[in-house]
Amino acid sequence: MRIVAAGLLCAVIAMPAFAETIVDGAAIADEVQGANWLSYGRTYSEQRFSPLSEITADNVSKLGLAWHHDLAEHKSLLATPLVVDGVMYFTGSYSVVIALDLTTRKPLWTYDPNVIEVAGERARIMWDSNRGVAYWKGNVYVATGDGRLIGLNAKTGKEIWSTMTVDPKLAYFINGAPRAFKDKIIIGNGGTEWGALRGYVTAYDAATGKQVWRFYTVPGEPAKGFEDGTQEMIAKTWTGKWWEHGGGGTVWNGLTYDPEFNRIYLGTGNGSPWNRRMRSPDGGDNLFLCSIVALDADTGKYVWHYQTVPGETWDYNSNMDMVLADLTINGKPVKAMLHAPKNGFFYVLDRADGKLISADKLINVTWATHVDMKTGRPVEAKGARYEDGEELLNPSAFGVHNWHAMSFNPMTGLTYIPIIDVAALFTDKGFNPVKWQSPNFQFDPGLDLLRDDMSLKLDASSLMAWDAVAKKKVWEVKLPGVWNPGTLSTAGNLVFQGRADGTLVAYRADTGKELWQFPTGVGLSAPPITFSVEGKQYLAILTGWGGAGVSMAGAITAQHGWAYRVHPRRLLVFGLEGSEILPPSPPPQHAQAIVKSDFKVDALLAEQGSHLFLKNCVTCHGGGAVSGGYAPDLRASPIALFLDGFREVTVAGVRRKAGMPAFRELSDSDLTAIQHYLRRQANKTVEAPAP
Ligand code: HEC
C-alpha cells in the first residue's frame, strides 16, 4: 500500500506544469490550438496560419524584441522552427538540430550529424541549409544534407535510429523538412543539376527507421522491369534513353499529408537534365515531372496527378508548397489545394480527384499564354522552348514563386505569396543534345545559365495577397531585391514576412498596410512562426541569409551586402512590450575586387576558366564570380591570386570543415584557367550596386 502511494506521489511530482502534448495525427491536424507549432507548415494543411490573436493589427506597434539567442556557428538559416510544449526545435547549418527551452530561454541540447564528414566528396553538391525537422510522439526527425534520415529523442537529443535514404555514389542531397503521419516519416531529395538522378520519396517507420514504402516519380529503365503499373503508364510519356540521364522529378521541398483523404501529395521537380532535348529527345510530357502527385498514405500507391508543366524544359518545377483549404467556389464547398509553382500560375485543384478548378497568372509570365481549362494544359508561347537558339522568358529558373512558403488566412481568404518577377535568357546554343552527357558531380542542367552577361533585374519582387476564389490579386507590396522569404498570417489580421534587406515586417492581412518593422542586421531567408508560452503569444524568426538564390544568383543577392560570415546569425523572439535591444550588426559590406595590375589576363584561359567555374564553383561562389554571401567573393580573395595557396584550398581541401570542398581532379592548368577568369571578373569590377 505504502509503495503504491509513494509511486503515485512520484508521478505527481514528476508531472510537468502543463499536460504534455502527444504529437500524433490528431494533434498535427488541430487548427484550433495555437500554442504549439507542430509541423513544417504548422498543421497538416500547410497553411502557416495561426489562430493566436493576442498580437493584432491594432497593437502590433507595441511588438518588441523579448529575447534572442546567438547562433554564431551557423550561416544559412532557413528553417521553420517547431514548438512543442514550450520547447523549440530547429535546424541550423549542416543539419545541426537545436532544442531550446522557451521558458528558461536556454539551449537544452544540440545534435550534430557531422554532415561534411559523412558527405565526403559529395560536399561539393550541397549547401549548408536545411528547412527544418518533423516531430512525432516524443521524437524529432531530421533529414541531413548527405541524405540520412535520423530520429532523435526529443528530451535528450540522443539518436534512436539513422538510415541512409539515398545511394551515396549518386549526386543526391537533402535540405527539405521531413513530414510525420500515421507512425511514418516521409522524405524526398534533390540534386538533379549535378548528376543523372531518378526522383523518389520514401516513408519510414517512425519508431524503427525501417522502410515502409517508396514511390518513384519518374520511370526507370524498361528493360529492368517496372516497379508497378503506374511506372509502366508514365514510361509511355518518355522518349529516348531517359534513364541514362535519370529523368529527375525529385521531391526536394513540397510534401503535404491530407488526413481527410489519407493521402500524401508530392510536389515534383524539374527534369534531369532540365533540357528536354537531351532527356527525352522525341518529346513527351515526361510524367511525373513538374506535377502534383497524390498517393495513398498507407501504401504509397498512385491515386491521381496534375502536371503543371508537361514536357518541362526550363526548370519550372512544382516543388512549391501545396496548401489545403476549404473554399466555397460557385456556391459549392470545395476541398481545395492551393499551389503556386515556379511557372507563375496560381492553381486551385479539387483534392477529391485532382481536377483543375482554376489556373491564373500571378504576374506577366511569358512562357505560356494561358492554361486551357478543357485540357488542363498550359498553352505555350511561340518560341518558348528556345528552339530558335535563345528566348527571353519570364520566369527565370528561380521561378515566380520558389520554396519560400506562402501562407493562407481563412479569415481573409487570401494567400500571401513571396513573388519574384525576373526574366532570363534560355539558350542551349553550343550544346549538342546527342553527345551531351549527364554531369558527374558537376553543375550542368543541359542549357546555358548564370552567364556573366546574364541580364539582371536587381529589384523585382513583391509580397502578393491573392484571392483564390475571385482569382485575382487583392494587394501587393514591392519588396527589396529578389530573394525574399516565406510568410505567416494570423488571426490578429496580420501577415509577417522577413525581407532580403534584413527587416522583419508586419502588414494588415486584409489591406497590406505596413504596420511594424524591425531591422535584424542580416538578410532574412527563414519564415517567421508564432506560438505561446505560459499564455503569452510570441513571434520567432531565425536570421541568416541563404538558399540557392544567395549562393548562385551573384549580383542579385550581393546587392544587399550580407558578405560571407560578417553579420551575426540568431534566433529572435518578439512579444508585446518586448524591450530588449539587439546588439548592433556591422553595416552591409560589398566585396572590393582585387585589381592586380601585373596580372595579364589571357582571354582564352579566362574563357576556359569560366566553364570550369560554372561547373564547379558557381553554385556557392555566385554567378559571374560575384558572391551573394554564401561563400567568400573570389574576386576579392588574396588566396586566389597565388597558385600554391589556391591549390591548397581548392584541391587539397584544407578548408573542407568550413564548407569549401576539395576538387582533387583539378590540375594546375585548370586552376590557372580559373585564376584568369577570376582576374577577368575582378577587372570588370562588377561592383555590386549599393542597396
Ligand atoms: C559547396 C560550396 C562550395 C563550392 C562548390 C566551392 N566553394 Fe570555395 N568556398 C566555399 C566556402 C563555404 C568557403 C569559405 C570557407 C572558410 O570559411 O574558410 C570557400 C572558400 C574558398 C576559397 C578561399 C577564399 C578566401 O579568400 O578565404 C577559395 C580560393 C575557393 N573557395 C575557391 C573555390 C573554387 C575555385 C571552387 C570551384 C572549383 C570552389 N571554391 C567551389 C564553398 C564552396
Q: What pLDDT band is residue 450 in, cutting at 50, 70 and 90?
A: low
Q: Which of 515, 498, 488, 507 is nearest to 461 (CA)?
A: 498
* Number of Cβ within a 10 Å radius of residue 100: 23
- Ligand 1 atom closest to residue 638's alpha carbon, by position in its atom list: 26
Per the model's pLDDT, the better-predicted residue between 425 and 417 turns out to be 417
CA–centroid distance, 526 to ligand 1, in Å, is 24
What is the percent of the chain with per-residue pLDDT over 90, rounded to a whole number?
93
- Does the beta carbon of 646 sit less than 6 angstroms from any atom of ligand 1? yes
Residues 421/394, Cβ–Cβ less than 8 Å:
yes
CA of 69 to the centre of ligand 1 (A): 28
- The residue nearest atom 19 of ligand 1, judged by CA position, is 660
Q: What is the mean pLDDT of the chain?
A: 95
Q: State the distance from the centre of ligand 1 to the C-alpha of 485, rounded, in angstroms.
A: 25
Pocket test for ligand 1, best of 73, 122, 660 (most atoms within 8 A of CB): 660
Instruction: Please tell me the predicted confidence (pLDDT) of residue 14.
Output: 45
Q: Are 649 and 659 in contact (CB under 8 A)?
A: no
564: CA distance to ligand 1 center in Å? 11
Contact 458, 481 (CB under 8 A): yes
Ligand 1 center from residue 633 Cα (angstroms): 9
The protein residue whose alpha carbon is closest to atom 36 in ligand 1 is 617
CA 632 – ligand 1 centroid, Å: 7
Q: Please name the residue whose Cα sits nearest to atom 2 of ligand 1.
A: 620
312 Cα: distance to centroid of ligand 1 (angstroms): 32
Atom of ligand 1 nearest to the CA of 127: 1
Report cis status (omega within 30 of 0) of the bond before 531.
Answer: no
CA distance 474 to 513: 12
- Summarised one tens digit per residue, pLDDT across range 24-55 is 999 999 999 999 999 999 999 999 999 999 99
C-beta 124 within 6 A of ligand 1: yes
Q: Atom 17 in ligand 1: which residue has the minimum CA distance? A: 658
Residue 154 in contact with ligand 1 by CB distance below 6 A: no
Q: For ligand 1, atom 1, which residue shows the shortest CA distance?
A: 124
91/251 Cα distance (integer angstroms): 19
Supply the residue whose CA is at minimum distance from atom 16 of ligand 1: 658
Among protein residues, the one whose CA lies closest to atom 3 of ligand 1? 620
688: confidence class by pLDDT, cuts 50, 70, 90: very low
How far apart are the C-alpha atoms of 152 and 673, rounded to whole Å? 46
Tell me the pLDDT tens digit for each residue of 140-167. 999 999 999 999 999 999 999 999 999 9
List the residue whose alpha carbon is closest to atom 42 of ligand 1: 660
Q: Indicate if ligand 1 lies below 6 Å from the C-beta of 656.
A: no
What pLDDT does residue 454 have? 59
Kindly state if the Cβ of 119 falls inside 6 Å of ligand 1.
Answer: no
Give CA–CA dist 293/218, Å, rounded: 11
Residues 495 and 505: their CA atoms lie apart, in Å, by: 8
Q: Whose CA is nearest to atom 22 of ligand 1?
A: 649
For ligand 1, atom 21: residue with the closest CA: 660
Q: Is 659 in the pocket of ligand 1 (CB under 6 A)?
A: yes
> Does 176 contact ligand 1 (Cβ within 6 A)?
no
Q: Which of 45-59, 201-215, 447-461, 620-634 has the lowest mean pLDDT?
A: 447-461
Please compute the mean of the pLDDT values over residues 655-682 and round it to a whole number: 97
Q: Using one digit for the tens of pLDDT, what is the confidence trace for 333-365?
A: 999 999 999 999 999 999 999 999 999 999 999
At 457, the pLDDT band (50, 70, 90 cuts) reads confident
Stretch 608-620: mean pLDDT: 96
Using CA positions, which residue lies closest to atom 34 of ligand 1?
Answer: 617
639 CB under 6 A from ligand 1? yes
Are residues 634 and 621 in contact, defined by beta-carbon separation less than 8 angstroms?
Answer: yes
Cβ of 658 below 6 Å from ligand 1: yes
* Minimum-distance ligand 1 atom for the alpha carbon of 655: 18
Sorting pLDDT into bands at 50, 70 and 90, what band is 516? very high
Tell me how far the alpha carbon of residue 377 lies from the centroid of ligand 1, in angstroms: 43
Specify the residue with its C-alpha closest to ligand 1, atom 6.
Answer: 617
Pick the atom of ligand 1 nearest to 124's CA.
1
User: What confidence score (pLDDT) does residue 519 get?
Assistant: 98
Q: How far is CA 616 from CA 234, 274, 560, 587, 672, in A?
A: 33, 18, 25, 31, 14
Is the distance from the beta carbon of residue 632 to the nearest atom of ligand 1 less than 6 Å? yes
Task: Give the other-Cβ count within 10 Å of 106's Cβ.
Answer: 9
Q: Measured between alpha carbons, how far is 143 from 161 in angstroms, rounded to an integer?
A: 12
C-alpha cell at 586: 556591422
Q: What digits encode the pLDDT tens for the residues 249-303?
A: 999 999 999 999 999 999 999 999 999 999 999 999 999 999 999 999 999 999 9
Residue nearest atom 10 of ligand 1, based on CA coordinates? 660
Instruction: Identify the CA nearest to 595 among candidates 677, 688, 682, 680.
Output: 682
Residue 453 clears pLDDT 60, i.e. is over it: no
Q: Determine the pLDDT at residue 15.
A: 46
Q: How far is the CA of 251 from the centre of ligand 1 (A)?
A: 28
Nearest-CA residue for atom 26 of ligand 1: 637
Count CB neighbours of 591 within 10 A: 24
pLDDT in tens, 318-329: 999 999 999 999
Ligand 1 contacts CB of residue 616 (under 6 A): yes
637 lines ligand 1 (CB under 6 A): yes
Q: Say yes or no: CB of residue 674 within 6 Å of ligand 1.
A: yes
> Sign of the C-alpha dihedral, residues 107, 113, 119, 120?
positive
Residues 6 or more apart whose CB falls under 8 angstroms from that of 685 comprise 593, 595
pLDDT of residue 8: 41
Contact between 63 and 517 (Cβ < 8 Å) = no
Tell me, using a 6 A CB cutoff, whether residue 650 lines ligand 1. yes
- The finding on whether 619 has its CB within 6 A of some atom of ligand 1 is yes
Interatomic CA distance for residues 273 and 280, integer angstroms = 10
Question: Does residue 9 surpass a pLDDT of 80?
Answer: no
What is the best residue among 193, 551, 655 to mutate for testing ligand 1's pocket, by most ligand atoms within 8 Å of CB? 655
Q: Which of 214-218, 227-231, 386-390 shows the lowest mean pLDDT across its residues?
A: 386-390
Measure 631 CA to ligand 1 centroid, in angstroms: 6
| Pocket of ligand 1 contains residue 145 by CB under 6 Å | no
